[in-house]
Amino acid sequence: MLDFDRVDQALAWANHTLARASDSEALDAALLLAHVLDTDRARLIAHPEQPLSTAQAAEYRRLIMQRAAGTPVAYLTGQRAFYDRDFWVTPDVLIPRPETEHLIEAALAWARGRSDLRVVDVGTGSGAIAVTLAAHLPTAAVWAVDTSAAALTVARRNAARYGLQKRVTLVPGDLLDPLIQAGQDVDLIAANLPYIPSAELDTLPVAQHEPRQALDGGPDGLDPIRRLLRQTPGVLAPAGLLLLEIGAGQGTQVAALAAGALPGAQIMILHDYAGHERVVRVERDGEPD
Ligand SMILES: C[S@@+](CC[C@H](N)C(=O)[O-])C[C@H]1O[C@@H](n2cnc3c(N)ncnc32)[C@H](O)[C@@H]1O
């Protein structure tokens, strides 16, 4: 027996059901109902009297119960908005976060007025960074690397979704290894690698749903970034830019590691809207070593 058969009743039931499971229950309820009805949130508000079929009501109930059990909305709808477009997501990839949009903004600000850039997104996951940069830099060649074959399958779908498959080259591999092996250097390295310390990750709800290999940065959270910085001098062109997403409080340590790896580089720590350290920006010296 379902407790609702129209939009306003469905939303009221879902809000109530999610109240203890989510701190964004109204948004979650609306996103999931819009998904089930194949519409948008504005239409739900404009037409609260719209009826649900029995099948739609049953599907909505199923999704809300999964959300109440902790499954992220994006894995239920299969999509997440990032920067200026939607990306397919599955439980094989990290759900793109708004914080990562700061990395995109820093990349596009630096790229303005430059053409034919060679760009790599290291740890591409859904492809959110690679696809967004390729879309905004129409003359760029973009490589997207990940150790996860399943993630690369999702990234491939996202590149194709925006007609960018010819300019986004998806490569399986460890960090910059594929580029080093190909003798390919680049002008811009963008990386949102795992940066959560292993022990801390065990205590976080995010670890229950999103892939551990997207989150676990080793004992102090910096293993992948440390290794990437060791590889960077061999791949980043003179005057090139490296952008590293980091966790709050990691800025000083990562900036020091970057200074050691790229002497003479200009290094800045950028903050997100919450005031947390979020991106380390490293502009390489123009002179080759
Ligand atoms: C934090 S997620 C970021 C995903 C996506 N770039 C984003 O910003 O939403 C990190 C990604 O790095 C990948 N990864 C982890 N270690 C890696 C490594 N050593 N080399 C390449 N990719 C790696 C994971 O599989 C995961 O897809």
Domain ranges of the chain: 7-77, 79-283
For tokens 């059901």, name the residue: 17
Q: From the CA of 289, how far away is ligand 1's center (Å)?
A: 29
Q: Is the dihedral of CA 228, 276, 97, 140 positive or negative?
A: negative
Is the pLDDT assigned to residue 258 strictly greater than 80? yes
Going by pLDDT thresholds of 50, 70 and 90, the confidence category of residue 148 is: very high
Is the pLDDT assigned to residue 2 strictly greater than 90? no
Contact yes or no for 126/87 (Cβ under 8 A): yes
DSSP-derived pairing of the beta strands 85-88 and 79-82: antiparallel
Q: From the CA of 125, how far away is ligand 1's center (Å)?
A: 5
Report the pocket of ligand 1 as residue ranges, CB < 6 Å. 93-94, 96, 100, 122-126, 128-129, 145-148, 151, 174-175, 192-194, 213-214, 224
Report the DSSP beta bridge partners of residue 241.
188, 283
Give which of 284, 243, 197 is closest to 99, Cα–Cα: 243
Contact yes or no for 284/234 (Cβ under 8 A): no
HSE-CB at 94 with a 13 A cutoff on CA atoms is 25
Q: Do domains 7-77 and 79-283 have the same CATH topology?
A: no
Q: Give me the pLDDT at residue 216, please.
A: 96
Is the pLDDT assigned to residue 289 strictly greater than 60? no
In the chain, how long is the greatest CA-to-CA distance? 72
Contact yes or no for 212/268 (Cβ under 8 A): no
Dihedral of CA atoms 239, 240, 245, 246 in degrees, nearest 10, equals -40
Give which of 272, 229, 265 is closest to 247, Cα–Cα: 272
Q: Give me the pLDDT at residue 150, please.
A: 98
Q: What is the mean pLDDT of residues 7-28?
A: 94
Q: From the CA of 244, how far away is ligand 1's center (Å)?
A: 12
Q: Give me the pLDDT at residue 3, please.
A: 80
Class (C level, CATH) for 7-77: mainly alpha
Is the pLDDT assigned to residue 1 strictly greater than 80? no
Q: From the CA of 217, how far away is ligand 1's center (Å)?
A: 10
Residue to probe by mutation, ligand 1, list 192, 201, 206, 244, most atoms within 8 Å of CB = 192
CA distance linking residue 92 with residue 84, whole number of Å: 22
Q: What is the mean pLDDT of residues 237-256?
A: 97
Collapsing DSSP states into helix, strand and coil, what is residue 3? coil
CA distance linking residue 167 with residue 252, whole number of Å: 35
Task: At 254, list the tokens.
Answer: 């990562």
Going by pLDDT thresholds of 50, 70 and 90, the confidence category of residue 205 is: confident
Q: What is the mean pLDDT of residues 203-215?
A: 92
pLDDT in tens, 25-76: 999 999 999 999 999 999 999 999 999 999 999 999 999 999 999 999 999 9
Residue to probe by mutation, ligand 1, list 121, 176, 213, most atoms within 8 Å of CB = 213
Q: From the CA of 146, how far away is ligand 1's center (Å)?
A: 6
Contact yes or no for 101/83 (Cβ under 8 A): yes
**Quick one: angle between helices 128-136 and 149-161, nearest 10?**
30
Q: Give me the pLDDT at residue 112, please.
A: 97
Residue to probe by mutation, ligand 1, list 147, 153, 175, 229, most atoms within 8 Å of CB = 147
Q: What is the mean pLDDT of residues 108-132?
A: 98
Fold of 79-283: Rossmann fold (3.40.50)
DSSP annotation of 233 reads G
CA distance linking residue 184 with residue 42, whole number of Å: 47
